[in-house]
Chains A and B, each alone.
Chain A
Amino acid sequence: MKAGKSLGEILHGEVTEFDLKMALREYGFRVPRGLLIDAVPASIPINFPVVLKVSDPRILHKSELGGVSIGIGSHEALDAELSRMRKAFPGSHFLIEEMVTGGVEMIVGVSRNRDFGLSIMVGLGGIFTELYGDAAFRLLPIERQDAIDMIEGTTLGKFVEGFRGKFIDRESLVKFLLKVSGFAEECRDIIDQMDMNPVMASGKEITILDAKLIKINGTT
């Protein structure tokens, strides 16, 4: 735990999802309320339903390994789920988070190109993101108009106009992308790749549900 520290300090050493989210929260992003645990406490300061995730820097794609359990509705269910995960992931820590539902799933990321340096990506999220390739890239840092063009250049452009009850506030999304650009610029000596996936967008609320970082030196 690295509470009360600067961005550089938080991202120093091994960075867990919890650490990265703390850094993102410090920077002004919205992330779910969360708690790192080894055992289920008598009471948790988060309302049910909750999400339980394995928190281990060695595990990059945790949902593919059964390391994410969503929609846990009660203390008892949480207890049972945690016992199961502890067996599956011995020696790991665990993260409980409030569950955020509804909205449009996006992927937002940063990656480094050997010729062009850091770039930002935004696209429609979900497990088929790579398949559809519905994403836009720009070099960092971006300007406001770049953020607008990125949104318009993907299917997200449909959601800022509203589509079948799903709506993302354009201005909030523009500000979010500019903030990602600012964050990445501030960590430009640290980041090799960063995934924020999924990012849940509903109206003006844009919440980073999961975030991963690979540093320049190849570590997480």
Chain B
Amino acid sequence: MLDQFFSPRSIAIVGASSNPEKIGYAILKNLTSSGYSGSIYPVNPGSSEIMGLKTYTSMAQIPGPVDLTVIALPASKTPDEVRECVRLKVPYVIIIPGGFSETGEEGRILESRISRAIAGSGTRIIGPNTVGVYFPHTRVNTALTPPDRISFPPPGNIAFISQSGALGLLTMDSISEYGIGVSAFVNLGNKLDVNELEMINHFSADPNTGSIALYLESIESGRQFFDLIREVNRRKPIVVLKSGRSEASARAASLHTGAMASDDRVLNGALCQAGVARAFDETELLDYARVLAYAMPFSGNRIAVVTTAGGVGVISADLISSKINGIGLQMASLSAGTKQKIRESIVAFGTAENPIDLTADGSLESYDRVLSALETEPEVDAILAYALPQTPKMSMEIVDVVGKHINSGKPIVVGVIGSKLGKELLIEFERKKIAAFPSIHRSVKALKALHDYGKFMKERG
């Protein structure tokens, strides 16, 4: 239903500007430099040309149909412009400015004027109070940040819906560093019209989207939200980051159950019930979304760890098997046959017990043989493989070695530690859509998210 919104054939920017200090400049600049191939119509009554594009004095002057209008005007001027969009049958309008219900009564009145303007029409509103949207597959970028300040991720598999615009942009900037891609980014702002429910519905059927990452500050239709994420999550994994955890329940409670039923405890229960992963910061949100989009979920508890650094292996073993400060799974006990195969593959002073340590003398060939041995080991449910390219016999080709085994039947999560080579490796893994994480802790927690999803699907699938 929102297809036209994500693939607009033409975009009008009302309030487009040639002044680099205006957001109407940044939006137009981002759109023109993103490689968008549809028609771009800047609208500004005082200009005839901006950035080499013919500029229109009003929406009505635009010669062709407009699929998407971006409004970058002050809040007070927005309702009239929305009315004009409704008259011109523009299907989607993004309202960038703040100054609406988030600021008080005056803003609420402006919002209700917009609501009245679109009532009964085919025009849908995204925002107001949004930093914009970013759809790399169709090269739509309406972000309000100056293009030189922030990096945007390449096309990928994660649909990222954020109620906070700034957090969304900053998170995209962070993941761009590792080439982590998104299928779309939407900042819903005040959710005057289009809300997260419609977005989730859309992404559940979007072939580019492998998982959905949701950052929310409020949930309005809780029961509908629950029913939807429970249904969608079975087909397409969802990760939720919800802020405002310490807020008390809004209702005075006189019984023990009521006193304990804080909004957060109830939400937590609902997410467990829906099998939806819960993140507690932006890093977890994208880590879990990525592992769920790329790797094969598993339901068993038994993990094998492969490393060329002993300390990395034993810390991982602690984090995997501890319930406190750990994820409460188990280190797999390898069968005699597998241990024999591993012993034959690694140096004599290496460790054929789990965690399997190839030592600093470990080579790509022995790593390959160890993964082959683990693939056929029925005592292993998933593999945590550390790609540490810093030793002499290792190299960036570790990406291909792991890649060779990624579809072998056992889920693999990759851990990487390091700076320059580490970052290059992470980018390479990302290019191959192999879930790799830049620390022991993050790798282990991603493994747990993958396990929890697999367990839920096995029990309820």
Residues of chain A whose beta carbon lies under 8 Å from any beta carbon of chain B: 60, 107, 109-111, 113-117, 119, 121, 123, 129-130, 133, 135-139, 142-143, 145-146, 149, 153, 192-195, 197, 212, 214
Q: Which residues of A contact B253 (CB under 8 A)?
A: 111, 193
Judge whether A116 and B267 touch: CB under 8 Å: yes
Enumerate the 6 nearest inter-chain pairs by beta-carbon distance, A residue then B residue, closest first.
A109-B257, A115-B222, A137-B269, A116-B222, A111-B261, A193-B258
Q: Does B178 contact A (CB under 8 A)?
A: no
B256, B258, B272: the one contacting A138 at CB < 8 Å is B272
Judge whether A137 and B266 touch: CB under 8 Å: yes
A138, A153, A194: the one contacting B255 at CB < 8 Å is A194
Q: Does B223 contact A (CB under 8 A)?
A: yes
Among A60, A110, A113, A129, max chain B CB count under 10 A is at: A113
A57 to chain B, nearest CB (A): 13
A127 nearest CB neighbor, chain B only:
B256
Judge whether B260 and A214 touch: CB under 8 Å: no
Judge whether B257 and A114 touch: CB under 8 Å: no
Q: Indicate whether A129 sits within 8 Å of B265 (C-beta atoms), given known contacts A117-B222, A139-B270, A146-B273.
A: no
18 of the cross-chain contacts (CB-CB < 8 Å) are: A60-B254, A111-B257, A111-B258, A116-B222, A116-B223, A116-B226, A116-B267, A123-B260, A130-B256, A130-B260, A133-B260, A137-B265, A137-B269, A139-B270, A146-B273, A195-B256, A197-B256, A212-B255
Q: Indicate whether A214 sits within 8 Å of B272 (C-beta atoms), given known contacts A115-B263, A121-B260.
A: no
Judge whether B273 and A109 touch: CB under 8 Å: no
Q: Which residues of B contact A119 (CB under 8 A)?
A: 261, 266, 269-270
Q: Which residues of A contact B265 (CB under 8 A)?
A: 135, 137
Q: Which residues of A contact B269 (CB under 8 A)?
A: 119, 136-139
A49 to chain B, nearest CB (A): 26
A137, A143, A214: the one contacting B261 at CB < 8 Å is A137
- Other than the given A116-B266, A130-B260, A149-B273, 17 more pairs (CB < 8 A) read A107-B256, A109-B260, A113-B261, A113-B266, A115-B219, A115-B222, A116-B267, A121-B257, A121-B261, A123-B260, A129-B256, A130-B256, A137-B261, A142-B273, A149-B272, A153-B272, A214-B254
Q: Indicate whether A194 sits within 8 Å of B257 (C-beta atoms), given known contacts A146-B273, A153-B272.
A: yes
A192 nearest CB neighbor, chain B only:
B258
B224 to chain A, nearest CB (A): 10
Q: Does B299 contact A (CB under 8 A)?
A: no
A135 nearest CB neighbor, chain B only:
B260
CB-CB contacts below 8 Å: B232-286 with A = 249-251, 253-261, 263, 265-270, 272-273
Q: Does B459 contact A (CB under 8 A)?
A: yes
Q: Which residues of B contact A121 (CB under 8 A)?
A: 257, 260-261
Judge whether B257 and A107 touch: CB under 8 Å: yes
Q: Does B149 contact A (CB under 8 A)?
A: no
